[in-house]
Amino acid sequence: MTALLVAATDLRRRIRNRSALITAFVAPLALAVVFGVLVGGAGSGGFRIGVVDADGSAMARSMTVELTGRSHPGGGTVRFTRLASRDAARRGVDDGDVDAAVVIPAGYAAAAGAGRTLPMVVIQRSDRLVAGEVARAVALSVGDEIERVTLAVGVVAAAGTAPSPELADAARREPTPIALRRVPLGGRELDGAAFYGASMSIVFLFFTISLAARSVLAERRDGTLARILATPAHPGAVLAGKTLSVAALGLAGLFTVWAATAIGFGAYWGNPGAVALVMFATVFAIGGLSLLIASLAKTEQQADAYTGVVTFTLALLGGNFIGPSQMPDLLRTLSLATPNGWSLVAFTDLSADAAGVRTIATALAVLFGCGLVAGGVGLTRVYRGMRT
């Protein structure tokens, strides 16, 4: 009962403190939006690629129709738009009407009919490198198809038949002997807002939950702690109440970011029950580790310094600032040595519909185990500091 009373009192004090609200709610949500839009949105916003037929041959017209026919207004990652000329493509790229452009050069079909390949031209802006890479990939893909055509034409020419553009066009219409295609596996594309919402919330959990140990240090410095311990209240109950209040604040921040990204940006975090379970495990793990870190300090300034260094070190190792698809193999391995890394693995799998409660059991076991060990040591150290 004493612990709950201390928790309620401490929580009211922290709610009145704007810095605590910023740490638990405002900062993680703001950074989640920034990272989700600027980083995660790179693959979700789509690319507009212009296509110019400067050849005018039947083959070039067919290629242009095939590319632009894949465009779907309002949908699709890559949308193709037919442009009249190379100058129009250059103006479109400069004005931002298209992100990049691919030009089929004059004489393209004739070169293919003669067993040669003319390189396609890619027009891009220096500040839209990703769009340029997409356009270059399209040009290379078309070039691979033409390589197949020139090979077929070369075989016919070796047999004594004169090559021609009509022969090249007929070869291009033949189906590819081996084709690759994407097969849906039933999962989802990882939502950038969901990933960075969880990632940034985890980072600020360290600062939010370390407020419990910092509060003990501050009250011991001001003499308030001695007066509290002079009452019938047990030191363990006081410490438990302070820890419970910051854990509740951190958990509320996680749920707030979840709700805000889901409602405001349509972010999908996964099965609600499994997501809530991972949130509880994450708060438990980060809370235990934060208490252990703060318990090593003798002053508030030391507690802030220790928490900051360890938080950003673990965030870098755990991949909180890097999307999961961009993590190198070494960093992916190192991330599993951190509690935040395991938490992100669970959140990522849930967001991609690649996991349920059973398949994230390992992550949950690691998180609860980390919180139990680190939290037990941290609470013991803080408890001893309260009695001295």
Q: Is residue 212 domain-shared with residue 290, that is, in the same domain? A: yes
Q: Is residue 367 domain-shared with residue 258, that is, in the same domain? A: yes
Q: Is residue 233 domain-shared with residue 311, that is, in the same domain? A: yes
**Which residue range(s) make up the domain with 152?**
47-173
How many domains does the chain fold into?
2
Q: Is residue 207 domain-shared with residue 117, that is, in the same domain? A: no
**Is position 185 within any domain?**
no
Mean pLDDT to the nearest integer, 59-65: 81
**In whole angstroms, how far apart are CA 23 and each of 206, 257, 276, 287, 304?**
10, 12, 20, 15, 13
Give yes or no for residue 52 having a pLDDT over 80: yes
Report the SS3 class of residue 79. strand
Q: Is residue 118 domain-shared with residue 15, that is, in the same domain? A: no
Q: Is residue 194 domain-shared with residue 135, that is, in the same domain? A: no
Q: What is the pLDDT of residue 71?
A: 47
Mean pLDDT to the nearest integer, 184-194: 65
Q: Is residue 219 domain-shared with residue 366, that is, in the same domain? A: yes
The DSSP line for 183-235 is ---S--PPPHHHHHHHHHHHHHHHHHHTHHHHHHHHHHHHTHHHHHHTSS--H
Give yes or no for residue 255 having a pLDDT over 80: yes
Q: Is residue 154 domain-shared with residue 134, that is, in the same domain? A: yes
Q: Is residue 55 domain-shared with residue 122, that is, in the same domain? A: yes
Mean pLDDT to the nearest integer, 260-278: 90
Q: Is residue 335 domain-shared with residue 265, that is, in the same domain? A: yes
**Is position 378 within any domain?**
yes
- Express each pLDDT in 81-103 by its tens digit: 999 999 999 999 999 899 899 99
CATH code for position 56: 3.40.1710
Last residue of a domain, one of 120, 139, 173: 173
Q: What is the pLDDT of residue 189?
A: 65
Q: Sorting pLDDT into bands at 50, 70 and 90, what band is 72? A: very low
Mean pLDDT to the nearest integer, 366-376: 93
**Is position 182 within any domain?**
no
According to DSSP, residue 72 is labeled B
**Is position 228 within any domain?**
yes
Q: What is the pLDDT of residue 148?
A: 59
Closest to 253 (Cα-Cα) out of 14, 4, 27: 27
Give yes or no for residue 68 having a pLDDT over 50: yes
The average confidence (pLDDT) of the chain is 79
Last residue of a domain, one of 173, 198, 215: 173
- Express each pLDDT in 149-160 by its tens digit: 565 555 555 555
Report the SS3 class of residue 240. helix
**Is position 126 within any domain?**
yes
**Is position 208 within any domain?**
yes
Q: Sorting pLDDT into bands at 50, 70 and 90, what band is 178? A: very low
Q: Is residue 238 domain-shared with residue 333, that is, in the same domain? A: yes
Rounded to 10°, the helix 235-265/361-387 angle is 140
Q: Sorting pLDDT into bands at 50, 70 and 90, what band is 298? A: confident
H helices present in the chain, as ranges: 2-16, 18-21, 27-38, 58-68, 86-95, 108-113, 129-158, 165-173, 192-209, 211-222, 224-229, 235-265, 272-295, 300-318, 329-335, 339-351, 361-387
- Which range has highest mean pLDDT (6-15, 43-52, 70-79)? 6-15
Last residue of a domain, one of 173, 201, 216: 173
Give yes or no for residue 185 having a pLDDT over 80: no
Q: Is residue 68 domain-shared with residue 211, that is, in the same domain? A: no
